[in-house]
A = this chain, B = another copy of it.
Amino acid sequence: MIQVIKIGGNILNDQGALGEFLEIFSANSHDKILIHGGGKEATSLAGELNIETKMIDGRRITDEPMLKVVTMVYGGLINKNLVAKLQALGCNAIGMSGADMNIIPAHKRNHPDIDFGYVGDFKLEDINSDGLLALINMGITPVICALTHDGKGSLLNTNADTMAAGIASALGKVSDSELHLCFEKRGVLEDAEDDSSVIPEMSKIQFDKLKAEGAIHSGMIPKLDNGFQALSEGVKKVIVRHALYPGGTVLINE
């Protein structure tokens, strides 16, 4: 069984918490893959370079200067530091983007109204799960940043939750896989103001109902959409949880 674990900005930007997470991750004896973004750090570097950050619906508009920024931050700064820290903990990590070993070939997003720039979408069947499996079977832990490529020489910025869901789904076709979408809360909350109100299980029907009622925080919707998509593709377990704590919200297909 392969665990695909995605971490976000809350943990990447807190060195103490990150260290704690990496210890837990290294000690985890399952085969595993770590997926990360780094949006906050990218926004911060873009600011230092006087490059404006434009977001639409939580997605980063990625023009050429911004592609350069995310390539440096996701592929370089965050990815290589995660790898060095994991190696120090005895976890034989290899840092990758979707271009490396052609793990995730993608295409530039074609949106009728919005030019997202160098933003990539991929097809599940294009993911090189054999390549990932080969590395895992060598005892190596892939650490994958939120970049794909267009097969024509250009990198593309791709949402890390979507990549994690895609990788878990593709691996689920050739092995058993789990998807852990980690974020700053301990799970999906019944009451956004009450951190202890974690919903232990959420079905697709329940999610659709809460979504229709507007009772789910808008930032959670794409994450849960990705999670339920992975579940429907055959991922054995999908859980939305905090990177440091057990528990969380298990998604169930009903």
Interface residues in chain A, defined as those with a beta carbon under 8 Å from any beta carbon in chain B: 45, 48-49, 68, 71-77, 79-81, 83-85, 87-88, 92-97, 99-102, 105, 134, 138, 140, 147, 149-155
Residue pairs across A and B with Cβ atoms less than 8 A apart, 28 shown, are: A48-B49, A49-B49, A71-B77, A71-B81, A72-B76, A75-B75, A75-B76, A75-B79, A75-B80, A76-B80, A81-B155, A83-B97, A83-B99, A83-B149, A84-B99, A84-B149, A84-B153, A85-B153, A87-B102, A87-B149, A87-B151, A92-B101, A93-B99, A93-B100, A94-B96, A94-B100, A94-B101, A101-B140
| Interface contacts beyond A72-B72, A75-B76, A94-B100: sample of 11 additional A-B pairs, CB < 8 Å, sorted by A | A71-B80, A74-B76, A75-B79, A76-B80, A83-B99, A85-B153, A87-B102, A93-B101, A95-B95, A95-B96, A95-B100
**Total identical chains:** 2
Residue in A71, A76, A138 whose Cβ sees the most chain B Cβ within 10 Å: A76
Measured between beta carbons, the chain B residues less than 8 angstroms from A71 are: 76-77, 80-81
CB <8 Å contact, A88 and B153: yes
Docked CA distance A140–B100 (Å): 10
The residue that A76 contacts in the complex, of B79, B93, B138, B154, with Cβ under 8 A, is B79
Measured between beta carbons, the chain B residues less than 8 angstroms from A72 are: 45, 72-73, 76-77
CB <8 Å contact, B155 and A80: yes
**Shortest Cβ distance from A68 into B: residue:** B77
Chain B min CB distance to A9 (Å): 17
Chain B min CB distance to A92 (Å): 6
CB <8 Å contact, A99 and B80: yes
Docked CA distance A72–B70 (Å): 10
Chain B min CB distance to A133 (Å): 12
Chain B min CB distance to A40 (Å): 15
**Shortest Cβ distance from A74 into B: residue:** B76
Measured between beta carbons, the chain B residues less than 8 angstroms from A147 are: 80
Given the known interface contacts A75-B75, A134-B138, the answer about A154 and B84 at a Cβ–Cβ threshold of 8 Å is yes
